[in-house]
Amino acid sequence: MPARLKVLTPDALASAQAAADTKALVKHYLAVLEQRAPGKSVEVRVPPYAAVQVIPGVRHTRGTPPAVVETDADTWLSVATGRTTWHEALDSGRVVASGERTDLSPYLPLG
């Protein structure tokens, strides 16, 4: 007997599409950052969607990176597109940055 397919309500379908769009946009802007700031010294994390290593300097290969930037998807998209400045997001606590070379302001906005 074939498995039953779950029928999505219009609201559930819209929510799923929005989540897919967010994931695609986060990955796109992280890829743009990789092109503009090539390197491996800072890990930029936007959980649960993606993480990239950027910025020239000492290469990180194992364990916890010495320089990490972490934020949520909405904040990442906001700083990537210039709706929020890097320093506004950092000062408000929506971005957590630790270690050397974690100031991404020279590379932002991306779009």
Full DSSP string of 16-73: HHHHHHHHHHHHHHHHHHHHHS--SSEEEEETTTEEEEESSSSPP-SSS-SSEEEE-H
Q: What pLDDT was estimated at residue 39?
A: 92
Q: What pLDDT was estimated at residue 103?
A: 96
Break the chain into its structural domains and give their ranges: 10-107
Interval 27-78: pLDDT, tens: 999 999 999 999 989 999 999 999 999 999 877 667 777 899 999 999 999 9
pTM confidence score: 0.85
From 3.30.565.10, 3.30.1050.40, 3.30.1360.120, 1.10.3720.10, which CATH number describes the 10-107 domain?
3.30.1050.40
